[in-house]
Amino acid sequence: MKITFAAPRLPHSGSVAVPVMEERVLGPTAAKLDKESGGALTRAMAASRFKGKGEETLAVLAPAHLEIGRVLLYGVGKEGGTERGPWQNRGGNLLAQFNAAGEKNAAIVLDHSGPEEAAIAADLAFGARLRSYRFDKYRTKEKPEQKPSLEELAILVEDPAAAKRVFQPLEKVAEGVFFARDLISEPANVIYPETLAEAARSLEKLGVEVEVLDEKQMKKLGMNALLGVGQGSARPPRLVVMQWKGNPKAKNGPLAFIGKGVTFDTGGISIKPASGMEDMKWDMAGAGVVIGLMKALAGRKARVNAVGIAGLVENMPSGSAQRPGDIVISMSGQSIEVLNTDAEGRLVLADALWYCQNRFKPQFMINLATLTGAIIVSLGHEHAGLFSNNDELVERLVASGKAVGEKLWRMPLAEAYDKMIDSDAADVKNIGGRDAGSITAAQFLQRFVNNVPWAHLDIAGTTWSKKDAPTVPKGATAFGLRLLDQLVAEYYEER
């Protein structure tokens, strides 16, 4: 779908969306159309429940003498506002309605004068772009009416050139989101450690430096926790290191993002139930988001230095698989008693976190992982769990999440929880029992970060959606990517 920006002139065909404020106060374009249609819009609103609130819409067939086929009224509340989230949601919702109506061409009228007009227009377009995502490469028998129809969407705004300039970096973020969603959506026979590493190599054309460490290199570094997870699979593990050097003159260390990349998780010897196991193709979502984030930062030429690290393994049961009760020595030198081989993501991250801080001396480390089912019990699918050793980083993450609609909820860390993972046979055990499962998993990770400012995002409940949302179609969400891009842009990027 092509997105363009144009001056406020109504199209000669297709649908046009026009804003209406709360209590059915028509914007200039809606008022003009209402007059030209002999009051058709006013009568349609009177016969409906449409009031012009937040995200309400009302479709009205245009009278025959008008060139357009359909008018879509969309509510903007009392004054429209300038918050990014609502305008992005409107863009996504309007796109969905244009497709549902089978339109090929459509336009959205902004009718919003003022200094924020260009940014609002860009957010409308960004929301529409995000909602347009589809993972359909394996569908071979779709009927035409099952496919999206919209080919071109025009945003009608007073200063199209300014809106286009604001939209350009957002378009690059959307490309990163789409890349991550694609990787997370792929089945495990297509995406496994080697192929996911190759996908990350595609970022080199954007200027990202990409290294891929193999088993031999990781063994030499002492990454036995990560290697132990993958030893039961025929697919060899990989560690991907990506560097974006957008601010060569920076005196501080880089920002570091680390992702869990278990490309398929059977649970290993502690095997999962068969029902729902197919979902474990997206147990690499943390790594997918980190790779997509690096694409977004490089694509929009972010003026910041960033490191992305993805620990990639496949967790399979076999004669060579890790066993419950095994003890491994991690890269940090700490010994780990593996009591449950399905608590594997924390083992991968333990070595990846240690490697990251040793090599790059980052300003902070943020890891993303579909780490625990316990976080879904705690927070459902509305918030991701946030654990951190740094209050300032927490405040910035929460604010960034709120700004883009990717919500976080801080969970506790404390010595009492940490004692729950003390082992009788080693320095630490990889599970702490049924109680506080997501917290003890975070406590485990904290043992491998020393005093580096660090945050752990448990995205198990937010990585995959079973229903459509305004800017997130059903399926892989790439949750965390827009949040972290916002964090970088708002707090760390050179102005």
- Which residues are known catalytic residues? 272, 346
Are residues 340 and 421 in contact, defined by beta-carbon separation less than 8 angstroms?
Answer: no
CB atoms within 10 A of CB 48: 14
The SS3 assignment for 20 reads: strand
Cβ neighbors of 426 (< 8 A, separation 6 or more) are: 327, 335, 336, 337
Instruction: State how far Cα 324 lies from the chain centre.
Output: 33
Spatial CB neighbours of 18, under 8 Å, sequence gap ≥ 6: 26, 27, 29, 30, 33, 71, 72, 73, 74, 109, 111
Axis-axis angle for helices 345-360, 437-446 (nearest 10): 30
Q: Contact, 288 vs 185, CB < 8 A?
A: no
Q: Are 447 and 356 in contact (CB under 8 A)?
A: no
Give one word for 420, left, alpha or beta, with left for phi > 0 and alpha for psi -120 to 50.
Answer: alpha
Cα maximum dimension of the chain: 83
Q: Extract the runs of DSSP E, i.e. beta strands, from 297-334.
A: 305-315, 326-329
- Angle of CA points 67, 70, 72, to nearest 5°: 130
d(CA 432, CA 439): 9
Closest Cα partner for 291 from 134, 176, 172, 207? Answer: 176
Cβ distance 406 to 462 under 8 Å?
yes
